[in-house]
Each structure stands twice: as structure tokens, then as C-alpha cells.
Copies of this chain bind each other. A is one copy, B any other.
Amino acid sequence: MTISADTISATTLQEVDERVTAAAGAARILRALPSSERAESLEAVADALDAAADDLVPVAGEETGLAEARLRGELARTTAQLRMFADVLVDGSYLAPIIDTADPEAQPAPRPDLRRALVPLGPVVVYAASNFPFAFSVAGGDSAAALAAGCPVIVKAHPGHERLSRLTDLRVRAALAGARAPDGTFATVFGREAGTAALVDPRVKAGAFTGSIPGGRALFDLAAARPEPIPFYGELGSLNPVFVTRRALQRRRRAIVEGYVGSFTLGTGQFCTKPGLLFLPAGHGLEPELVDAVRAVAPARMLNERIHSGYARELGKLASHPAVRTLVAGASGEGLDAAPTLLGTSIDSLRDHGDELLTECFGPTSIVVEYEDEAQLVTAVEAFGGQLTATIHGDDDDAQALQALIDLLVERVGRLVWNGWPTGVAVAWAMHHGGPYPATTAPLHTSVGATAIGRFLRPVCHQSAPQALLPEVLRDRNTLGAMRRVNGRLTRHDVTS
């Protein structure tokens, strides 16, 4: 790979092999280090990126067209994420330690001493996303979670912000070296061929991806077809439907209009949690207000040419569908600009033309749908695939009438939002950013929040091992103060025999 002022050439297959060799070597060293050292590494990376904001943000702005304030906020989120995982490591509980002491009297068979805790999976390939040049990119959530788990990371940079990726990579590697992380802990590769070569390398043990359904599915298929299939955590597409009850509309009409339009046009609609469908009760009379609010949103630059043209293509298909009305036609404007578009369709059309209408249109477009009653909503939702989110605007008095809808949504979504908006994914212990396919390729896992670390850890059970050969978190003395399950009970006490 060579770097000139503006171009970065693709990483060669030879270079990929070297990176994976280094990662495999680092994996063995990392696994043996105490979690506290990994926590220090994560803090060092966060500090380095915060210190580099003035260098990184302008480059990110040039490459993505995103505004400075948004980028500074996203960088702050990214470093907060790295620090959150450092906090996760402090509590050895993330290793899910379980101890069953020997019980020769156990029925139906005597039980040996068994002690189980998690270990790192090994080198991980992370595919950066287009739309979050910091938070879902080189030093983003997937990288932070994998590093926290003790897994070396090889990032496949997104072509939409390669210069920023290169700069971020340099900062990350310098910070890791300063924190005495082993060589090979982190690398970034460029180019599609390098990205797939890394995934099929037998020394790589997992993949993580944020992006489109076709791109993510192709990589998932590669990971599953390896001689040794590996977990592939793809976060793909989502429609993020929003349902508004009659009572909610009566009480918060204006807030709903503003919140909806603000949410689906935020970031020029380039969020995986963009609300793509708004279900309103029949006779809502909200169209004039919605139209005015959408028209008031200025056109804004999309991330890059590929996304801009892809958006125009998908929008063209949707808007020209005979079952779809155009309420506001967002002019494309100059260059990469797009103004928001509002479409409308009937709930029967959604059912009859689900294959065409229930597809993600990545950009500032959303579809308004009228419904007669909750039963009709239930029928509509049954046609939905997996979603990252669904949102209900309701009233406490609606709870009973909504139960069937909520049950159906829980079957299909990762996060159910009540009287809020799906954009804005808090980095927190309880966040779940995931969901059944096609929201993700791994419905048991999240790509945001503290539990995202679990994607890169697997259990190992030690049977009858002497104390000296046990990982620290499984020894009798609970030096880490982890919450452990000992003979069936959760406790922080030492094991006493």
C-alpha cells in the first residue's frame, strides 16, 4: 500500500497475508494479558483520537460531506465507546465466569470440578460503514468491541473515506504501541479484494460488518462457505416502521410531525435506523402539515456518488410504483445533494406489493401509510422481515389495544421505541442494535452497547485444573471481584472448599 496526497492504493494479497500473520501472533500475546492492560489500550486510543480531532474532522468532512458539528459529535461518541468498553473490562463479569466445584455425591453422576469462562475468538475482520466515518469505521464500535475482547482487528476501510481511515489507523496504531499492545493488534486494509482475502484466511475467526443487504449477505455467504465457517456479524438493512395511534395524534400532533420529519431527514436519511414507514390512523388529516415540514428541509449533500446514485435509483423505483403517491418530490439539486421526499401508499398495497415497497431506500425518503384499526396493522406487520427498530407513538390507554401489535413487533425487531424516534442509538449497557435477518445476519448479537463484546468471546471449560493453570477469573480467590456463578448461585465471594 502506498500513500500519496489523495490516493491510497489497494492493499495487496501479500500485504493482507502479512497483516493476518501479525494478527495471529498478536492474538496469542493478547490472550495472555490481563484485561486491565487491554482497558488501558482502549483508553489510550480514545485519548489519541480526541487529541487528533482537529486533524481528523476536516478530512472526514471533505470525504463525506458531513457537517463539522455532526462529525465532532460522532468522534466524541466513538471515543466514549472505546472508554465504555474499558469500563466493561474492569468488571470481570464480562467473562461470564461459572464454577461448579467437585461433587462426588451428585446425582445421577458424580461431578468433577468444572470452571468455565470466556476467551477471545482470535483475529477479527471489521468492515467499515459508509455513513459513520468514525463510529462505525476504523476505530468504531466493532473494532472497540473486538479489541476489548482481546481479539486483534483488521479493518477493511470503506472506499468513501479512505484518507480518514488511513489517518485514523495511524493514530490507533501509535496509541496501541504506546500502550505496549503487541505488534499486529491492529491493521487497516484497503480495496475489495483485500477485504475478502482477509475474511477467507483460515487464521481469521470472525467478521463484523455494517452496510447494505447485498454487500453483507455476500460476505456472510463467504464466511459460511469457508472450510471452517466463522461467525459473521452483519448489520444490514431495516425499514424501522413507526406506528401512531389515534390518541397520540390527538395529543401530540405537532410534535409527531416535527419528530418524524426530523428523524427521517437526519443525516440526509443515511442512517440504518431511519424511519422508512409511518403508519397513521385513517382520517388523520396530517398531509398538509407533513408536506410543509418536509418542504422546509433544505437539500443536503449525500455521502458519496455511489450512495447518491443508488438512492436516486431506489427512489425512482418506489416513486414510479403504481401503488405509490408522491406527496413531496425532493429535487436532486446539484452534485450529491438531495432534498427529502415524502411518499404515500395504502396498507393494502403494502401487503400486495411487499417485495417492491418493503425495501430499504437509503436516503431522505419515507412512506406514509393509513390504517383503519389495529387488526389491519397486525396484518401489515406480518409481512415484515427483521427490523433493527420499530416505534409506537401511543398513550398509556392504548396499551391493551396494542398488545397484539407489540407481540408481533417483538418477534421481528431488536429495539422497540415508545413515543420517541429510532435515530440516535445510545451507547449504553442496555442498548440492542440488532434484530432478525435482514436487520442482521446474527440475531443473538448487537453491534452497539456493552454486550457487543460478546460477539468475540467463546467459552472454555477447565475440568479439575490446578489453581495455577486456571485463568485468574476462575481461581478460588475472586481477585477481580467478578460476579460469578458458583455452584448455581451468583456471588462475588471467593470459593471456599
Contacts and interface: CB of A to CB of B under 8 A. Distances in A.
Nearest to A482: B490
B418 A466 contact: yes
Copies in the complex: 2
The 4 closest A-B pairs by CB, nearest first: A432-B461, A224-B224, A114-B430, A76-B108
A418 B487 CA distance: 20
A interface bracket (residues with beta carbon within 8 Å of B): 35 or more
A321 interface: no
Given A416-B460, A416-B461, A457-B444, A430 B76 contact: no
Contacts of A420: 112, 463-464
Nearest to A460: B410
A295 interface: no
A5 interface: no
B109 A31 contact: no
A490 B93 contact: yes
Interface of A: 28, 31-32, 73, 76-77, 80, 87, 91, 93, 96, 98-100, 106-109, 111-112, 114-116, 119, 121-122, 205, 220-221, 224-225, 228-231, 385-386, 396, 399, 402, 406-407, 410-411, 413-420, 424, 426, 428-432, 434, 436-438, 441-444, 446, 449-451, 454-455, 457-466, 468-469, 483, 485, 487-488, 490
B31 A407 contact: yes
Among A109, A411, A430, A441: residue with most chain B CB under 10 A? A430
A377 to B, nearest CB: 16
Contacts of A100: 426, 428-431
B229 A115 contact: no
Contacts of A93: 490
**Which of A407, A469, A488 has the largest count of B CB atoms less than 10 A from its CB?**
A469
